[in-house]
Amino acid sequence: MSTRACAVVLAAPSGTGKTTLAQRLVGQSSDYVFSISATTRSPRTGEVDGVDYHFVDPAGFEAMIADGELVEWAEVHGNLYGTPRAEFERAAARGEHVVLDIDVQGARQIKQRMPGAKLIFLLPPDVQTLMGRLTGRGTEDSAALARRLHSALEELQVVEEFDYVVVNDDLDRCLETIRGIVSGKVEMSGSGAALQSARALRREIGRILEEDYSEYTNAKR
Ligand code: ADP
Ligand code: 5GP
């Protein structure tokens, strides 16, 4: 990888805006590309091989591991996922930053193997905003909402492993901060305050899960 190009790992509790931010980063500047992972999971409706994922069978995935073709890999929800090394080599040759949407196990491996990688944890401004973003389309039933809240609780547990913590309040400001981190203009932003807000969010989400959260479901019906 060239000195300029770097790996940008984005992690966030479900509903924070990770997908939106990653799409803007890649959509607004040709300096950023998505890393297209390999997976043994079956394609969902609308997913295209080579665009959303490289869909491979378990034997094909094992061969990629054996041949050293993956920078990191992990089992997530019973399927194997991995980041192809070739994506990095192509991006590095073009001086582009690679945006990775990977799980925490993968983020840890990237941190170990690519010391220049930027690991960024995104936080919602507060729990009400998170609930609003999670339920904004009004299509979430309570079981789906509970699943997403439980996964948010797990994700919030690993904040301290990340070098940078950025609050996704105003989208453009958040994008500017991420670009600043990647270019080296923004230095360490993970702080005690960020850890405290992550803990407060966990407490509040825990409370919502214990109470009746039906007021948050089917919000726009
Ligand atoms: P994630 O990938 O983290 O689950 P999404 O990117 O799907 O989250 O965003 C969840 C919802 O929040 C979407 O409706 C998105 O448009 C909205 N959203 C994301 N970031 C912001 C922001 N900074 N301000 C307002 N709405 C946002
Ligand atoms: P999904 O199947 O919903 O697309 O993704 C499930 C999970 O796998 C998400 O948390 C996603 O971030 C993670 N994931 C996707 N690609 C990779 C990858 O290449 N490596 C790792 N470690 N996790 C991945």
Q: Whose CA is nearest to atom 16 of ligand 1?
A: 20
Closest ligand 2 atom to residue 109 Cα is 22
% pLDDT > 70, the chain: 93
Q: What are phi and psi of 39, to 5 degrees?
A: -150, 150
Of all residues in the chain, what percent carry a pLDDT higher than 90? 72
- Return the ligand 1 atom nearest residue 171 CA: 23
- Per-residue pLDDT, 220: 46
| Burial group, residue 214, by CB count within 10 angstroms (0-12, 13-18, 19+) | exposed
Q: What is the pLDDT of residue 189?
A: 59
Superfamily, domain 36-94 = Guanylate Kinase phosphate binding domain (3.30.63.10)
Instruction: Indicate the pairing of strand 164-167 with strand 118-123.
Output: parallel
Q: Where in the chain is the domain with CATH 3.40.50.300?
A: 7-31+95-220
Note whether 153 and 15 are within 8 A (CB).
no
pTM of the complete model beyond 0.75: yes
Question: pLDDT tens for residues 191-207?
Answer: 688 889 999 999 999 99
| Domain(s) of CATH 3.30.63.10: residues in the chain | 36-94
Closest C-alpha residue for ligand 1 atom 22: 171
Flag residues of the chain having pLDDT under 50. 1-3, 219-221
Ligand nearest to the CA of 98: 2
Q: Whose CA is nearest to atom 22 of ligand 2?
A: 106
Using one digit for the tens of pLDDT, what is the confidence trace for 50-91? 999 999 999 999 999 999 999 999 999 899 999 999 988 889
Q: Write out the CATH class of domain 7-31+95-220.
A: alpha beta
pLDDT of residue 127: 95
146 vs 149: CA distance, rounded Å: 5
Three-state secondary-structure class, residue 167 = strand
